[in-house]
Amino acid sequence: MTAILTAERALSPPNLENELLEHVLFYGGKTRRRSYEYLRSLLESALSFAEVQAHYGDDITAQRKRVFRVFRHVEETILDKGLSEDEAKLLRTIAQDITGLASPTLLHEAMFVPNIASLFSPDQQAAWAEDIRSHKWLGCYIQTELGHGSNLRALETTATFIKEADAFEIHSPTLTSIKYWPGALANTANIGVIYARLLVDGKDLGVHSFLIQLRDFATHTPLPGITLGGIGSKFGFNTVDNGFAQFDRVRIPRLHMAMKFNTLSKDGVYARVQGAKREVSYITMLQMRFFMIIGSGKQLSKAATIAVRYSAVRHQGANASNPSEEMQVLNYQSQQHRLLPRLAESYAIIIAGNRLLSFAQRATEMVAQGSTDAGVLALTHATGCAVKVFASELSTRGIEICRRGCGGHGYLQTSGLPELVAYNAQFVTAEGENYVLSQQTTKTLLKMLAAARAGMVASLPAELRFFETIDAPVEVWDATQLTSADYEALFQARLLGILVQMESTAAAYPSLEEAIQANLILSHHLSMCFGKFVLVREFAALLNTTPIAPENKAILDDVFALFCVSQLLEDMSDFLALGCLPLKAASQCQTLQIAILGRLRPHAVTLVDAFGFSDIALNSNLGRHDGNVYEALMNASRAYSNDSTVSFDEYLEPLRAKARRAKL
């Protein structure tokens, strides 16, 4: 089967994969790519495809041992090679990217350490730095409760200041206050950042953050007053041990309260820290949402890689023009319609995620240097919410489409696709459930529109200055002659049209909050429209700024056009109702989509190769780079334990014996 994929790759310009790898997707230039490939070699030299495939046949204990072996290898490699902080982060990311091998320590790096850096004072951070660096501490992020998730203000866990002890008492006063869902809490973490209501002299000062030790550092057993456990098997992501914690008046030092922005003295005096820029912390925490956007794109791109490669190798059904031959599955128009839009969606999400993460990092630097532009902060928040909502919905649906596109073999765990479906499904809930999160985008957009209406367009971030055109006559586009600028303008016009609908609807309510709560369907739709517009805008911006050879640029233009046309077709009713497109545009866009599918078909394999996944990272016997699908399937099947004697001896044979006796 190697020859098939070799022939497929020969259909594209020879430098297409390299240019996309270095300038468009993960790497950001030759230097970054070399670093990525070097670090990946350090990890994968200690793994094999057979070992990572074994994940699908092992029980959770064996899986956890494997992921901890990988974690240990990564951390020892960082020490042995003297890797820089950036290299260490990248190596950890590469390790977490292996399908099925997510480590419980992911939450230590992704949530615990950023919380310490964002919320705790420089003195606190300095005091604890060595314990974090040496892995004496493995942390988790303890926010969600059994009865409360997205509504942070309603959390019930209490932190009561005991003045005479100079300590806080952490307590779970109700069943619903039990902390439930934090990753790494069940088995891995020995310490965490916990969110609880600060109570001082009977006064509730709201939810604050505290450092709390969970387990003995020497024995790893839970400390007195703390009950810890696992929440049970999940839909996926089971190598990460989500757990619960109940606290029975557990005391922690006063200095374990996060004191970067607020302090509490021994005498119980609560005060704000002068000069501390909470905005920096806010954007730092928002960056997690942008990492999740990129993660959604990565998972979808893995599924697209597996499905496209397998569909190129697989032959099924008689060729109508030559019945003696079987059709290459990727040559079916229906299969192209299934898979190639998913490929385009992957590009769009990854490109936007990378660009938006850079924007958030620049915003953090700007605020740290003294700028407190509230508009930039609000836009960062609204954009992160909207794109996270859209990207997670798009990728969760898209991975399942790819799985179905692989037929029966896609139902096998060893295909890697069920794991991707389950892994990615968390993104629609994590970091804010999507319908809840979309309300944040709606509120921000309406407030900024109100500012524009009041003549303060200049105060808006540059990315939203187009709000001043909200009452301009709607342009009608010709769907047969759309440029990248036209696509961006179309999605912008649709966004403004839906925003006006929401504005008009909200005007009938006494408050913005009531208006949004009473119109959550429209609010979610508005958020999705904004998310789609941002992806189109960022993809178009990249097309206009990336140095790429003309023959490769033409192919990337088609990927962009396929993403846009596919979204136009899905939301055609919006564009027709708002007058952005004429009625005939529906059939014109269908014709255009089919034409683009045909143009991209010869480059499909190279376009997924450009995502840069190794066989170990994909962990799929259908998505192998060499195309040896059937060998991999049989190797996995032969390695699978298949002892039939248990069912025969204990159940089938006794049943047969009883049936014989009954007959006699």
Domain ranges for the chain: 1-45+280-655, 118-127+135-276
The answer on pLDDT for 372 being more than 60 is: no
User: Which fold does the domain 1-45+280-655 belong to in CATH?
Assistant: Butyryl-CoA Dehydrogenase, subunit A; domain 3 (1.20.140)
**What pLDDT does 283 receive?**
67
Strands 158-162 and 191-200 turn out to be parallel
Q: How confident is the model at residue 381 (pLDDT cuts 50, 70, 90)?
A: confident
Going by C-alpha positions, the residue among 192, 45, 52 that lies closest to residue 113 is: 192
**What pLDDT does 218 receive?**
95
Instruction: Answer whether 146's CB lies under 8 Å from 176's CB.
Output: yes
The answer on pLDDT for 620 being more than 90 is: yes
**What pLDDT does 648 receive?**
81
pLDDT digits (tens, 9 = 90+) for 441-485: 999 999 999 999 988 888 888 888 899 889 888 889 999 889 999
Per-chain mean pLDDT for the chain? 92
pLDDT digits (tens, 9 = 90+) for 207-230: 999 999 999 999 999 999 999 999
Q: How confident is the model at residue 530 (pLDDT cuts 50, 70, 90)?
A: very high
Q: Alpha carbon of 136 to those of 215, 216, 219, 343, 595: distances in Å?
A: 11, 11, 12, 42, 58
Residue 335's SS3 state is helix
Token look-up 């033409």 returns 554
Model-level pTM greater than 0.85?
A: yes
Q: Is 144 annotated as a binding residue?
A: yes
162: amino acid identity, one letter? I
The secondary element (H helix, E strand) that includes residue 421 is: helix 417-425
Which of 165-169, 178-182, 309-313, 364-368 shows the lowest mean pLDDT across its residues?
A: 364-368
The answer on pLDDT for 254 being more than 90 is: yes
Q: How confident is the model at residue 29 (pLDDT cuts 50, 70, 90)?
A: confident
Residue scoring higher pLDDT (647 or 10) = 10
**What pLDDT does 459 receive?**
82
The answer on pLDDT for 368 being more than 80 is: no
Instruction: Answer whether 222's CB lies under 8 Å from 214's CB.
Output: yes
**What pLDDT does 367 receive?**
67
- The order of strands in the sheet holding 243-247 is 179-180, 243-247, 226-230
Hey, what are 634's tokens?
A: 């049989």
Q: How confident is the model at residue 281 (pLDDT cuts 50, 70, 90)?
A: low
**What pLDDT does 358 receive?**
83
Residue by residue, DSSP assigns 508-569 as: TSSSHHHHHHHTHHHHHHHHHHHHHHHHHHHHHHHHHH----HHHHHHHHHHHHHHHHHHHH
Q: Which residue of the set 17, 431, 488, 538 is catalytic? A: 431
pLDDT digits (tens, 9 = 90+) for 96-110: 999 988 888 888 988
**What pLDDT does 136 receive?**
95
d(CA 420, CA 102): 11
pLDDT digits (tens, 9 = 90+) for 541-581: 999 988 889 999 999 999 999 999 999 999 999 999 999 99
Which of 127-131, 369-373, 519-523 shows the lowest mean pLDDT across its residues?
A: 369-373
Report, as an integer, the average pLDDT of 606-634: 95
How many Cβ atoms from other residues are within 10 Å of residue 249's Cβ? 13
The secondary element (H helix, E strand) that includes residue 272 is: strand 270-272
The answer on pLDDT for 404 being more than 90 is: yes
- Asked: is 118-127+135-276 a CATH 2.40.110.10 domain? The reply is yes
Q: Is 275 annotated as a binding residue?
A: no
Token look-up 């298949």 returns 642
What is the signed CA dihedral for 261, 264, 269, 271, rounded to 10 degrees?
Answer: 0
pLDDT digits (tens, 9 = 90+) for 537-551: 999 999 998 888 999
Report, as an integer, the average pLDDT of 113-140: 94
Residue scoring higher pLDDT (175 or 380) = 175
Q: What percent of the chain has pLDDT over 70?
A: 97
Residue by residue, DSSP assigns 461-500 as: -GGGGGGGGTTSPPP---TTS--HHHHHHHHHHHHHHHHH
d(CA 256, CA 5): 57
**What pLDDT does 150 receive?**
74
**What pLDDT does 373 receive?**
65
**What pLDDT does 397 receive?**
97
Report, as an integer, the average pLDDT of 522-546: 95
**What pLDDT does 374 receive?**
67
Q: What is the number of helices (H) and of strands (E) in the chain? A: 25, 13
Hey, what are 556's tokens?
A: 């990337």
Residue 211's SS3 state is strand
Tell me whether residue 431 is one of the annotated catalytic residues. yes
Q: What percent of the chain has pLDDT over 90?
A: 72
**What pLDDT does 371 receive?**
63
Q: How confident is the model at residue 378 (pLDDT cuts 50, 70, 90)?
A: confident
Which of 270-284, 323-337, 374-388, 497-511 shows the lowest mean pLDDT across its residues?
A: 270-284
Q: How confident is the model at residue 290 (pLDDT cuts 50, 70, 90)?
A: confident
d(CA 103, CA 91): 13
Hey, what are 333's tokens?
A: 């128009």
**What pLDDT does 181 receive?**
94
d(CA 32, CA 28): 6
